[in-house]
Amino acid sequence: MNFEFKVQGGDFVRAGNASSQVKKILKQLNVDSAIIKRVVVALYEGEVNIAAHAFNGIINVEIDTERILIKLDDNGPGIPDIDLAMQPGYSTASPIVREMGFGAGMGLPNIKNNSDDFKISSVVGKGTHLEITVNLKSTKEEV
Amino acid sequence: MRACPTEALRVIEGKAHLHANRCIDCGECYRVCPTGAIIVEQDDFQNIFNYKRRVALIPSVLLGQYPDNVTPGMVIQALKNIGFTDVFEVEDSVEYLIPQINEYIAKNQNKKPIISSFCPAIVRLVQVKFPWLVGNILLIRPPLDLTASYIRGMLTSNGVSNNDVGIFYITPCAAKIAAIKSPVGEEFSELNGVINMDLIYNRTLHEIKKKNVNKIPNSFLSDLSARSITWALTNGEAVNIDGRCMAIDGIHNVIEFLEKIENDEVNGVDFLELRACDESCAGGILAAANRFITAELLRNHAKQFLKPDQSSNNQNKLQKYEQLLMGKINLNRVEPRSMVKLDEDMAKAMKKMERVKRLMCYLPGVDCGVCGAPSCLALAEDIVQGEGAISHCVFLQKIMEQNKLDPEHSFRIMKKIWGTNRFYKDCDKPIQNK
């Protein structure tokens, strides 16, 4: 199943819409709550990232019985140094964004922590592409 | 039908039908029903006479129902006139509870925010709509249950036979009744029955109007502390609990906020006081007086004391029965009973969701409710679950009539939903002017 959501840059009020919707869908599908939680947290961070840095973005959520795959594509400045951006605490958020309580530099690391597979690619001046996979029979649960 | 926060109501043959597993006993449907068709089940008042010691367990909001010239003392006298032998206040256990709640929160840092177990409709809401948050519910019994244990323990240790003690709760709401008849997190309830507050209000006021009750000046009979008196009002709990606490009343406000909690969008809150009714228990569906006036009156009662924990009489009388109460303070684990899933099996649930999505392409999205379901989405989900049909929609009926649906048949469908009488001329139908 596919679901698509649009995110506007700078619109923090509506950042969280997609994660709320996806949460409702996954609950209806009787997905394990621990897995839903990881999806929702990762997606919310992704939404906030688009709102904070990009002009606009599209989120595509693909659900099957094996995994949930989320693709986030934005039109924005892109990330010049992805390794640096992935470091916890590193942030380029503007002072305005920080004043709103966002931009602590934990977004990308947090997304990665909550996903089973995480891909990121970016073209400076064009935008950033994220792929987050959460497996339904998650390896993170097996001990 | 649309007043229901969990979409538990459907109209079939002109009557409201309740999906029991979705109902959280909040009473919102009772509040809005134009014909008074929804009743709140209670025990027969005569049942109190099956006991020698007939205890009326009253919530403080009862004393806030009466006109200005009726003092709390007069209400208690009137309760005794109509048959009770003892009158106790639910909030008797509040002073005892406050340190226990604070201790619980300090010990359960990993379960934040702790959600108060005070309002039974909220406990049920969390079970059906926010199943992940059941672990956050405060596993301490609310004042009503604890006070009932205290009264029973106190009377029996003073030589009264347990079988002679009949404790009857005077309830301002439907949820408390359900909580007593089918408790969550408890094996049994210590109460023997529940009587609706509107019935008690009528009977006691009748006694007072008949002048069977002496004028008792405004001396405050209750020995509750200021904060106990206001415990059942909005912010009654939250201001007395350590840490960052929030108080939210009104079922829709609560739902909106719990969505945020569930998404991890709100951090650092220690304790949530959540109440289903606007103005909390003062706004209970069985209350007689205006909720704002009741709340003001109780706050004025409380203002007689300089300090919130100060009382007119000996406070913390429960301490004497500490031994007895210690084993009874905790609730068992609260289990989720999720209503939202379309199917246990994810693959089947996905098929059903695809169907819902397809149906929503055709349903008009105006949520008119003529199909007997509260929204187009609710109808689509009902269809997928085999509990509805696409021909229940008036919009789609019109389209189907252009092809093969016999107009006579679509008329029969509407009669099936709304009852035959709905199609006769009726000048006496209940009309609510707003």
What are the two backbone dihedrals, phi and then psi, of residue B168, each rounded to the nearest 5 degrees? -120, 125
Choose from B127, B255, B258, B264 for mutation: most chain A CBs within 10 A: B264
Q: Do residues B139 and B104 lie in contact, with contact meaning Cβ atoms separated by under 8 Å?
A: yes
Query: What was the pLDDT predicted at B211?
Result: 82
Kindly give, in sequence order, each residue whose CB lies less than 8 Å from that of residue B107, ignoring residues fewer than 6 positions away: none
Q: Do A28 and B132 touch (CB under 8 A)?
A: no
Q: Do A30 and B341 touch (CB under 8 A)?
A: yes
Describe the strand order of the beta sheet including A2-8 as a list of residue ranges: A2-8, A56-63, A67-75, A127-135, A117-123
Q: H helices of chain A, where?
A: 17-28, 33-53, 82-85, 95-99, 107-114
Query: What was the pLDDT predicted at B315?
Result: 55
Q: Do A30 and B342 touch (CB under 8 A)?
A: yes
What number of CA atoms fall less than 13 Å from residue B71's CA on the CB side? 12
CA–CA separation, B229 vs B61, rounded Å?
8
Higher pLDDT, B267 or B414: B414
Residue B238: is its pLDDT beyond 90?
yes
Enumerate the residues of chain A whose CB falls inside 8 A of the CB of residue B344.
30
Query: What was the pLDDT predicted at A140?
Result: 57
CA distance A124 to chain B (A): 30
10 Å CB burial of residue B268 (0-12, 13-18, 19+) is exposed
Per-residue pLDDT reduced to its tens digit, A69-99: 999 999 989 888 888 888 887 887 777 777 7
User: Count of CB atoms within 10 A of residue B132's CB?
Assistant: 17
In this prediction, residues B125-142 reach a mean pLDDT of 91
Q: Do A31 and B353 touch (CB under 8 A)?
A: no
CA–CA separation, A31 vs A4, rounded Å?
19
What would you measure as the largest C-alpha separation in chain B, in angstroms?
80
10 Å CB burial of residue B162 (0-12, 13-18, 19+) is exposed
Average pLDDT, rounded, for chain A: 86
Tell me the domain boundaries of chain A.
2-135
Enumerate the residues of chain A whose CB falls inside 8 A of the CB of residue B131.
33
Does ipTM exceed 0.85? no
Q: Do B346 and A36 touch (CB under 8 A)?
A: no
Query: What was the pLDDT predicted at A142?
Result: 38
Kindly give, in sequence order, each residue whose CB lies less than 8 Å from that of residue A4, ignoring residues fewer than 6 positions away: A58, A59, A60, A61
CA–CA separation, B138 vs B111, rounded Å?
9
Query: What was the pLDDT predicted at B220?
Result: 54
The terminus-to-terminus CA distance of chain B in angstroms comes to 18
Q: Do B264 and A40 touch (CB under 8 A)?
A: yes
Enumerate the residues of chain B whose CB falls inside 8 A of the CB of residue A41.
264
What does CATH list as the number for A2-135? 3.30.565.10
CA–CA separation, B235 vs B213, rounded Å?
34
Among chain B residues, CA nearest to A20: B263
Residues 62-101 of A with CB under 8 A from B: 63-65
In this prediction, residues A107-126 reach a mean pLDDT of 89
Q: How confident is the model at residue A143 (pLDDT cuts 50, 70, 90)?
A: very low
Q: Do A29 and B344 touch (CB under 8 A)?
A: no
For chains A and B, what is the number of CB pairs under 8 angstroms? 52
Residue B150: is its pLDDT beyond 60?
yes
Q: How confident is the model at residue B104 (pLDDT cuts 50, 70, 90)?
A: very high
Tell me the domain boundaries of chain B.
45-326, 343-423
CA–CA separation, B351 vs B68, rounded Å?
61
Residue B248 structure tokens: 């939210």
